[in-house]
């Protein structure tokens, strides 16, 4: 639903003004990043899957540009332009249009042109507090509009890592499963396969070279790979360095000697991935399975409990909060907390707001290193629809 009528446009404008006033009052600087953005950053960060959802075009000079599919990446770029030191602590808020191609055809709930009003917070090392505050401000803005019947859904990509730590599996297994977690399509299948070993022997690798590589002596290992390439008259070309290739070969060598994934660990992982429901109950489920875990580390659980406590302190009614271990796995750039706010009238597939932590995004935008970053945006048309089309 774009602003097809003047009334609609005015209602959206009035709503956004109220939302922005909440953000500004909370200490966020109002900014207006460019609508036309270089396509590079988006495609590099989010991968080829996003191209299918983004209006990408080439201008008369041959530059590849896009209509921004969200306002988070443009705000990261704006931050980097403003601050020579990207670690500078900053808080921004914005309100404006974003554009997405809808493969199934544009609908009221999934328009190709929509408005987002949101906040971004960069450089704040007090991560957990910043996250709770972000959620609380978004809820506050939504309530200020007059919408009170919201529910909040949480996920946490980082929590999976902590659960893996608790199972006491080897570092190689951990990396493997961490990476696989982001690909839910193949994850379950992979987990089954891992029970017989991560990498069955194959004829593809130079055996002698593989057996000579050692993680604790990278210099010698790299030298061995260089000698091998020279003997085979293979030229080193491209952007992957000798170190990149050697590191992967070492992983391959180690994985081939790795014992199969412990059945008990696999079972715990399956159970964790299946955790979903009211946040407090989900916490109990996680607590139970962590206690059964071989190394029994409570780190994951402490993180979870602390998050709920911080949200409760920020005034969020935990009775309206749910948690799903799988939530966020397919959302490209999130690295920790991920959340969305839903309205019963719009259904679970059309959240009225969403956000989370994405510490790796700034690096892709050009900062050179990860920067703490957390933010969220309200989907303006959906919020208005949830309000029955009336501004406050």
End-to-end CA distance of the chain: 19
Binding of another protein by 245 (CB under 8 A): yes
Min separation Cβ 47 and another protein, Å: 5
> Nearest 5°: phi and psi at 182?
-80, 0
With binding defined as CB under 8 A, does residue 363 bind another protein? yes
198 binds another protein (CB under 8 A): no
Q: Is 231 in the site for another protein (CB under 8 A)?
A: no
Establish if 44 lies at the interface with another protein (CB under 8 A): yes
CB of 235 to another protein, least distance (A): 5
Based on CB atoms, which residue is closest to another protein, 58 or 281?
58
Q: Is 192 in the site for another protein (CB under 8 A)?
A: no
Rule CB under 8 A: say whether 185 interacts with another protein. Answer: yes
Closest CB to another protein among 182 and 318?
182
Residue 179 lies near another protein (rule: CB under 8 A): yes
Does 295 contact another protein by CB under 8 A? no
Position among 49, 107, 281, 313 found at the interface with another protein (CB under 8 A): 49
Please work out, in degrees rounded to the nearest 5, the angle formed at the alpha carbon of residue 144 by the alpha carbons of 138 and 146: 115
User: Coil, helix or strand for 209?
Assistant: helix
CB 37 within 8 A of CB 134: no
To another protein, the closest distance from the beta carbon of 236 in angstroms equals 5
> Which DSSP helix (H) or strand (E) runs through 14?
helix 6-25
Contacts with another protein: how many residues (CB under 8 A)?
36
* Contact (CB, 8 A) for 86 and 367: yes
Q: Please state the closest distance from residue 298 (CB atom) to another protein, in A.
A: 28
Q: Which is nearer to another protein, 250 or 290 (CB)?
A: 250
Could you say which of 103, 105, 201, 238 contacts another protein (CB under 8 A)? 238
When binding is defined by CB under 8 A, the residue of 239, 263, 319, 388 that contacts another protein is 239
Would you count residue 171 as binding another protein (CB under 8 A)?
A: no
Element (H, E) at 160: helix 157-167
Q: Give the whole-angstrom CA distance, residue 206 versus residue 246.
A: 12
Helices 299-313 and 279-292 pack at an angle, to 10 degrees, of: 160
Residue 322 φ/ψ, nearest 5 degrees: -120, 165
324 CB-near residues (< 8 Å, 6+ apart): 153, 154, 155, 275, 276, 277, 282
Using the rule CB under 8 A, which residue among 4, 5, 6, 48 binds another protein?
48
Does 228 engage in binding with another protein (CB under 8 A)? yes
Could you say which of 11, 22, 76, 249 contacts another protein (CB under 8 A)?
249
Least gap, CB of 176 to another protein (angstroms): 9
**Binding flags for another protein, 24-43, as an x/- string (CB under 8 A):** -------------------x
What minimum distance in Å lies between the beta carbon of 188 and another protein?
Answer: 12
Alpha carbons 226 and 224: distance in angstroms, whole number = 5
CA distance readout (Å), 208 to 226, 234, 345, 364: 14, 17, 63, 38
CB of 105 to another protein, least distance (A): 16
Exposed e or buried b per residue across 125-141, where buried means at least 16 C-beta atoms within 10 angstroms of its C-beta: eebbebbbbbbbbbbbb
When binding is defined by CB under 8 A, the residue of 192, 240, 264, 390 that contacts another protein is 240
Strands (E), the chain: 29-30, 36-38, 56-58, 64-67, 90-99, 113-122, 150-156, 276-278, 321-324, 337-343, 353-357, 373-379
In order of 39, 103, 277, 314, the CA distances from 156 in angstroms are 28, 28, 14, 19
CB-wise, 93 or 251, nearer to another protein?
251
| Binding flag, residue 113, another protein (CB under 8 A) | no
Interacting residues toward another protein by CB under 8 A? 43-45, 47-49, 51-52, 179, 182-183, 185-186, 204-206, 209, 225, 228-229, 234-240, 244-245, 247-249, 251-252, 363-364
């Amino acid at each position: 639903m774009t602003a097809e009528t003047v009334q609609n446009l005015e209602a959206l404008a009035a709503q956004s003004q109220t939302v922005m006033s909440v953000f500004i009052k909370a200490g966020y600087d109002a900014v207006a990043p460019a609508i036309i953005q270089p396509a590079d950053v988006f495609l590099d960060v989010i991968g080829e899957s996003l191209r299918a959802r983004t209006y990408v075009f080439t201008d008369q000079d041959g530059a590849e540009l896009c209509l921004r599919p969200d306002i988070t990446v443009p705000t990261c770029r704006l931050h980097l332009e403003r601050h020579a030191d990207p670690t500078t602590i900053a808080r921004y808020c914005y309100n404006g249009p974003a554009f997405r191609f809808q493969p199934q055809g544009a609908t009221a709930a999934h328009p190709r042109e929509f408005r987002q009003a949101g906040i971004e917070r960069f450089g704040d090392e007090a991560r957990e507090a910043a996250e709770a505050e972000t959620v609380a401000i978004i809820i506050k803005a939504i309530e200020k509009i007059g919408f009170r019947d919201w529910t909040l859904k949480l996920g946490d990509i980082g929590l999976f890592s902590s659960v893996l730590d608790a199972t006491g599996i080897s570092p190689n297994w951990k990396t493997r499963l961490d990476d696989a977690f982001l690909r839910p399509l193949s994850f379950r299948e992979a987990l089954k396969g891992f029970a017989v070993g991560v990498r069955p022997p194959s004829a593809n690798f130079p055996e002698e070279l593989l057996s000579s590589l050692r993680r604790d002596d990278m210099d010698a290992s790299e030298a061995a790979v260089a000698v091998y390439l020279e003997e085979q008259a293979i030229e080193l070309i491209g952007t992957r360095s000798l170190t990149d290739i050697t590191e992967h070969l070492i992983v391959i060598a180690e994985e081939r000697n790795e014992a199969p994934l412990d059945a008990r660990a696999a079972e715990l992982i399956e159970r964790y991935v299946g955790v979903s429901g009211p946040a407090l109950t989900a916490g109990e489920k996680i607590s139970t399975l962590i206690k059964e875990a071989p190394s029994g580390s409570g780190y994951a659980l402490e993180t979870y409990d602390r998050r709920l406590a911080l949200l409760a302190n920020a005034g969020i009614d935990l009775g309206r909060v749910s948690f799903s271990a799988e939530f966020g796995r397919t959302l490209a750039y999130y690295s920790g907390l991920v959340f969305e706010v839903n309205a019963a009238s719009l259904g679970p597939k059309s959240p009225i707001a969403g956000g989370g932590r994405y510490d790796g995004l700034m690096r892709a935008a050009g900062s050179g290193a990860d920067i703490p970053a957390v933010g969220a945006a309200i989907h303006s048309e959906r919020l208005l629809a949830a309000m029955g089309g009336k501004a406050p």
